[in-house]
Amino acid sequence: MASLQDLILKGNRCPEHKPWPRVFVDAEMWSFAINQLTDGYWSLLGLWAETETVHMALMDEASSAIGVISLECPNRHYPSVGCRHAPAWRLERTIRDLSGLEPMGMNDKRPWLDHGRWEVQAPLGSARKHSPTDTGYEFLPVEGESLHQIPVGPVHAGIIEPGHFRFTANGETIVRLEERLGYTHKGIESLMAGATIDQAAKLAGRCSGDSTVAYALAFARATEAALQIDIPARAHWLRALMAEIERLANHLGDIGAICNDAAFALMHAHCGVLRERVLRAAHACFGHRLMRDRITPGGMAVTLDPMGFDTLTTLLSNIRQRFPALVELYDSTASLQERTVASGHLSLDLARQFAAGGFVGRGSGRASDARRSPGYTPYDRLNFEVPVRHEGDVNARVWIRIREVEQSMALIDQIMAQIPDGPLAVPLPFKAGEGMALIEGFRGDILVWVHLNDKGIVERCHLRDPSCFQWPLLEAAIEGNIVADFPLCNKSFNCSYSGHDL
Amino acid sequence: MRNLLFKNIFRKPLTEPRPDSDDAVLAKLAGHVERTAYRRLGRSLAVRAVDAGSCNGCELEIHALNNAYYDLDRFGIRFVAAPRHADVLLVTGPVTRNMREALERTHTAIPNPKWVVSVGDCALNGGCFAGSYAVVGGVSQVMPVDLHIPGCPPSPAEILKGLLALLEKGAAGK
């Protein structure tokens, strides 16, 4: 077994890529990497393409080393990863739709994000004009007796994002779920190509509204890595503070929403109040409820004044006063437990294969957290636990979120106690380079890769939401559950449509 | 659970008074709504929300309208699952090309008379997504919009003001 470092040493290194190495490899080394993925030694962090190059971000599970390998494909095709390693499947269909590069060996010829509605083909590649042709979409065939199909979406009953779910059920039991996504595709990566860093940072903060802080942080860190600049210490700490407030707000809201999908409205009402308090505190401290556009490449656009400290202290003591009773309520309500325990089971094997991050991975025993590994400031100076459960059901994912609420509150305490004074930002130099960042959003690890030119313009930026690897797992977790439990299981994953579709 | 419910009986309600809605704000928000519309709506508004490609920020704030602070129900406004039950189509997002047909079909399914409210900066003209191959660029490109609520995302209070503008400017104008 060769390590990722060995492969990196063999390849032709791109000197401008920071902080992790990127190397050009040949088809043979590319295939070797696929073997390592299928054997489970390495994990896939991302797969994307530039005009005639395909990039694969990898992590060595043994050493936690990270690297990017790039394969030039002048003939516009490359050996498929997805035909042997399922997590890459939809990423390759995305590459085909956006860049026009063909994965050789991939049997699935169906488009993914391109629904035949655009007036351009391969917008990130040749960008050839063509007239929209919606040829329909063929779902995977299902065979068997007494099966019926239930099509759901893209417009759902509640106030949620659009996507299509095709259920095949035997009576009440789901035997297969197939997702069709792409409805919220806005062409963010195309808009970023050629944009200034400021414009691109705004777009990054609008990939997934619930993770706007995490995305802005990931984009800022990738940009700063590409420019090889250090930002003031206070900015690092303020960023972490916002990231934890965002995590807190999302977990509080979702714990309630999961219970609501099991028809237990009392939890929803109380958690909704706590979430609202967090958002109001965020508004009081940083001037925006979701803290959008507050993190900028180079530092921070806002600071925290003494009144902000008081607001956060009051907020935390209020949540600490009320949250334990809600946890107790969740734990002691048999009718609610009856719904959440053992439903929507995800196995550790699948969580590992798909390198599932966040509560989806940690609820099934995969202990990964980008704040720990690869880690970033200031988390190296903070004490926190990464909660892990092994049951893999809805209940486990709820408990991970409950524990993370507690951890985030402890982190906010520590950050407020230790935050240094000083300037907020540094000006950005004009410099060409490539940078990458891996940031722990509330859902899991967000990957941002950016390629800048020397005029301060983004040549290409790729953003990979944790949902890209979690959506397929939902299809696996729902199998064998009843149709009526789908909202519950779906909410326990709470994947982002917009972050996936971009 | 009993304990929690019991405590709530003695706690003061969290629900806040209705937001200030001075006539200027209402007039600006509801400037395009015809006066006859208000008579039909009375004091009840059934809203069908459709995400036409938003980042989900607007959805978070629309959700917040149902929490105890805003308690949307007390104004007679409620979200409904079926477009057949709706008076108002509440649309977020820049309208992606992939969502356009679904949005139009939802609009068609709402019985007349009906009103369209667009929420968020990108629903106005595409916002920062304008010019992309994948977006149409604003709800008004696809259907007539009666009222627009700006913001990225607008706060729940602002969305509430907008919906009240639909209901109540009419009462004032009668």
Q: What is the pLDDT of residues B106-137, one digit of tens each?
A: 999 999 888 999 999 999 999 999 999 999 99
- CA-nearest residue to B15 within chain A is A273
Contacts of B152 in chain A (CB under 8 A): 206, 292
B-chain CB neighbours of A290 within 8 Å are 57, 60, 153
Instruction: For residue A218, give the nearest of A357, A40, A75, A389 by alpha carbon.
Output: A357
Q: What is the pLDDT of residue A201?
A: 96
pLDDT at B173 exceeding the cut of 50: no
Q: Which pLDDT band holds residue A368 (cuts at 50, 70, 90)?
A: very high
pLDDT of residue B17: 85
Nearest to B106 among A155, A199, A275 (CB): A155
- Structural element, H or E, at residue B153: none
Kind plus residue range of the DSSP H or E element containing A46? strand A42-49
Q: What are phi and psi of A174, to 5 degrees?
A: -80, 125
Alpha-carbon distance of B11 to B8, in angstroms, equals: 5
Instruction: Please indicate whether, in this complex, the C-beta atoms of A162 and B99 are within 8 angstroms of each other.
Output: yes
Band of the pLDDT at A501, cuts 50, 70, 90?
Answer: very high
Q: Residue A83, Cβ neighbours under 10 Å: how many?
A: 17
The percent of residues in chain B predicted with pLDDT above 70, rounded, is: 84
Residue of A191, A203, A269 lying closest to B68 (CB–CB): A269
* Strand B45-51, strand B88-92: pairing: parallel
Q: How far is A263 from chain B (nearest CA, A)?
A: 15
Q: Where are the beta strands (DSSP E) in A92-133?
A: 102-104, 120-121, 128-129
Q: How confident is the model at residue A132 (pLDDT cuts 50, 70, 90)?
A: confident
Nearest residue to A469 (alpha-carbon basis) of A390, A388, A352: A352
Compare all CA atoms of chain A with the CA of B92 and give the residue at the minimum distance.
Answer: A161
Mean pLDDT of A472-490: 95
**Residue B18: predicted pLDDT:** 82
Which residue in the set B51, B67, B132 is minimally distant from A273, CB to CB? B67
pLDDT of residue B123: 95
State the smallest CA–CA distance between residue A418 and chain B in angstroms.
31
> Which chain B residues are Cβ-neighbours of A266 within 8 angstroms?
1, 4-5
Poorest-pLDDT segment among A464-473, B7-16, B72-81: B7-16
User: What per-residue confidence (pLDDT) applies to A2?
Assistant: 76
Q: What local confidence, expressed as pLDDT, does residue B16 receive?
A: 87
Q: What's the pLDDT tens digit per position in A397-421?
A: 999 999 999 999 999 999 999 999 9
A162 interaction partners in chain B (CB closer than 8 Å): 50-53, 99, 102
Residue B166's pLDDT is 80
Q: How far is B64 from chain A (nearest CA, A)?
A: 7
Taking the CA of residue A34 and the nearest CA in chain B, the distance in Å comes to 32
**Contact call for B56 and A123, based on CB within 8 A:** no
Q: Is the pLDDT of residue B32 over 80?
A: no
Give the pair of three-digit tokens for residue B25. 């704000």
- Would you state the pLDDT for residue B14? 87
Q: Which range among A54-68, B12-26, B42-56 shows the weakest confidence by mean pLDDT? A: B12-26
* pTM metric for this prediction: 0.94
Contact between B1 and A266 using a beta-carbon 8 Å cutoff: yes
Size of interface A-B (CB pairs under 8 A): 150
CB contact under 8 A, B1 and A333: yes
pLDDT of amino acid B12: 84
- Say how many C-beta atoms besides its own lie within 10 A of residue B109's C-beta: 15
CB atoms within 10 A of CB A407: 19
At B31, the pLDDT band (50, 70, 90 cuts) reads low
Other Cβ atoms closer than 10 A to A309? 13
Interface touch B97/A162, C-beta < 8 Å: no
**A188 chain-B contacts, CB cut-off 8 A:** 129, 132
CB-CB neighbors (< 8 A) of A154 in chain B:
99, 102
Average pLDDT in the A425-444 region?
Answer: 95
Band of pLDDT at residue B170, cut at 50, 70 and 90: very low
CA separation for the pair A31, A33 (Å, rounded): 5
Query: What does the pLDDT read at residue B33?
Result: 57
In DSSP notation, A135-179 reads ---PPPP---TT-EEEEE-SS-SSS----EEEEEEETTEEEEEEE
**Of residues A120, A253, A276, nearest to B133 (C-beta):** A120
A420's tokens? 């240094």
Closest-CA residue of A relative to B68 is A273
Chain A: closest CA distance from residue B30 (Å): 23
Q: Which residues of B touch A497 (CB under 8 A)?
A: 56
Mean pLDDT of chain A: 94
| Chain A neighbors of B82, CB-CB under 8 A | 157
Residue A230 has pLDDT above 70, yes or no: yes
Q: Up-side HSE of residue A441: CA atoms within 13 Å toward CB?
A: 32
> Cα dist. A297→A213, A224, A433, A448 in Å?
12, 7, 14, 13
- The half-sphere exposure of A352 on its side-chain side, counting CA atoms within 13 A, is 15
CA-nearest residue to B62 within chain A is A159
From the CB of residue A231, how many other CB atoms can be counted at a distance below 10 Å? Answer: 21
What integer pLDDT is reported at residue A105 of this predicted model? 93
Tokens of A413: 């305490």
pLDDT for residue A133: 81
Q: With beta carbons under 8 A apart, name residues in chain B contacting A190.
A: 132-134
Q: Take residue B45 and report the two structure tokens written for it.
A: 């508004």
- Residues in chain A within 8 Å Cβ distance of B64: 272, 275-276, 279
Q: Please give the residue of chain A at the shortest CA–CA distance from B151.
A: A288
pLDDT band at B10 (very low <50, low <70, confident <90, very high): confident
Contact at CB, A202 and B69, closer than 8 angstroms: no
pLDDT at A11 over 90: no
Q: Which among A114, A131, A155 is the top mutation candidate for probing chain B, defined by the most B β-carbons within 10 Å of its own β-carbon?
A: A155
Distance CA A21, CA A42 (A): 16
On the question of pLDDT at B43 being above 50, the answer is yes
The pLDDT of A331-347, averaged and rounded, is 94
Yes or no, beta carbons of A187 and B134 under 8 Å apart: yes
- Ranges A18-32, A299-313, B18-32: which has the least confidence: B18-32
A134-148, B11-25, B45-59: range with lowest mean pLDDT: B11-25
